């Protein structure tokens, strides 16, 4: 039985899958298998996978059924003690598994371990994403602290909490982390052991409203604050109805996130619309500053976004240094 099972879902990733496989083939920790779940690719992805002879690969081919379903299928087929996530368009550092196994074996109470990452943009720019090492449940409720493709999880914990919720179209990872964090310790290695490819067509640009609403539902359910009407809207996939049932503050936070993300993607008209929506739900100085930023030249916007990243990364590094215990103990795994 391998120590790690890498669950790698694919769908029409012929332009990127070889890079992901190369990263796995270069791992210094060798006791792992790769479970590829292909959701009906038509672009030659499967041919690339079947021609790979350096890795122990199990290929599952099926009709397109969505990412959470593919992940659950991969987990069911996995033979490893740990489940490693890997996205088809990203790449793992050669020492990723070695480092994660080392930390998990030294911390028996730790159920979930992610890593930091290098973000690679379509224009060739790169930046480093720092991550909190010791993640409390309250910090997780404030926002997702994990890079999905970087995580290594104890398989029995994933099975214990029921795996991924297949009713989620987005943020299925965040929902799973919240359920794991109810009873287990979670954390990160703040080292850039994963390369995350940031596409222009990222879901965070094209469907951010849905992403934010699914994330809000996950938080409401995790804290026991979800209503039956919200559950019904979620099950029906009626996100407009789910939005209407949020508090004004929750709605304003969603519009603020949309405002900031539209600035990031250089869509000032959409950003100004979201700013207006946010202001109508309650004025804050931050909303006003972001709206003003939409009227600034792009170079000023880029500088402001850069400063924001520096401040965020500095806060994360400070928290990592100031935390007495690297991981928060809750329950023995």
- Amino acid 200: pLDDT: 60
Domains in the chain and their CATH numbers? 4-198 (3.90.550.10), 203-317 (no CATH)
Minimal CA–CA distance to 130: which of 188, 73, 182, 72?
188
Q: What is the pTM of this model?
A: 0.92
Looking at residue 7, its pLDDT comes to: 98
* Strand pairing report for 57-61 and 32-38: parallel
Alpha helices, DSSP H, located in the chain: 17-25, 45-50, 67-77, 96-106, 137-142, 155-160, 172-181, 203-206, 208-222, 228-236, 239-244, 248-264, 268-280, 285-293, 298-322
Evaluate whether 100 touches 153 at the Cβ level (below 8 Å).
no
Tokens of 23: 């990263």
Asked whether residue 156 carries a pLDDT value surpassing 90, the answer given is yes
Q: Are 19 and 92 in contact (CB under 8 A)?
A: no
| Separation of CA 217 from chain center | 16
* DSSP structure class, residue 12: S
Percent of the chain scored above 90 by pLDDT? 83
pLDDT digits (tens, 9 = 90+) for 177-218: 999 999 999 999 999 999 999 876 445 555 889 999 999 999
The CB density around residue 16, as the number of other CB atoms within 10 Å, is 19
């Amino acid at each position: 039985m391998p120590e790690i099972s890498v669950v790698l879902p694919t769908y029409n990733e012929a332009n990127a899958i070889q890079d992901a496989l190369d990263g796995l083939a270069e791992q210094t920790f060798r006791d792992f298998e790769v479970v590829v779940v292909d959701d009906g690719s038509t672009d030659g992805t499967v041919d690339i996978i079947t021609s790979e002879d350096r890795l122990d690969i199990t290929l599952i081919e099926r009709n397109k059924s969505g990412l959470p379903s593919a992940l659950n299928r991969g987990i069911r087929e996995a033979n490893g003690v740990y489940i490693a996530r890997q996205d088809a368009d990203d790449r793992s550092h050669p020492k990723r598994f070695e480092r994660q196994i080392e930390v998990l074996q030294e911390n028996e109470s730790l159920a979930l371990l992610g890593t930091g990452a290098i973000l690679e943009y379509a224009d060739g720019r790169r930046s480093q994403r720092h991550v909190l090492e010791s993640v409390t449940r309250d910090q997780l409720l404030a926002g997702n602290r994990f890079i999905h493709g970087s995580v290594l999880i104890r398989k029995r914990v994933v099975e214990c909490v029921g795996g991924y919720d297949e009713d989620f179209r987005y943020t299925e990872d965040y929902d799973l982390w919240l359920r794991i964090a109810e009873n287990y310790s979670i954390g990160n290695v703040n080292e850039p052991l994963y390369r995350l490819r940031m596409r222009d067509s990222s879901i965070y640009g094209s469907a951010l409203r849905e992403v934010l609403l699914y994330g809000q539902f996950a938080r409401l359910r995790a804290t026991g604050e979800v209503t039956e009407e919200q559950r019904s809207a979620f099950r029906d996939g009626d996100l407009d109805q789910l939005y209407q049932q949020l508090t004004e503050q929750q709605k304003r936070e969603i519009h603020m996130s949309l405002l900031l993300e539209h600035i990031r993607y250089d869509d000032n008209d959409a950003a100004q619309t979201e700013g207006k929506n946010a202001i109508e739900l309650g004025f804050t100085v931050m909303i006003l500053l972001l709206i003003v930023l939409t009227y600034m030249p792009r170079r000023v916007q880029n500088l402001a976004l850069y400063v924001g990243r520096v401040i965020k990364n500095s806060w994360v590094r400070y928290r990592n240094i100031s935390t007495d215990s690297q991981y928060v103990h809750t329950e023995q795994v």
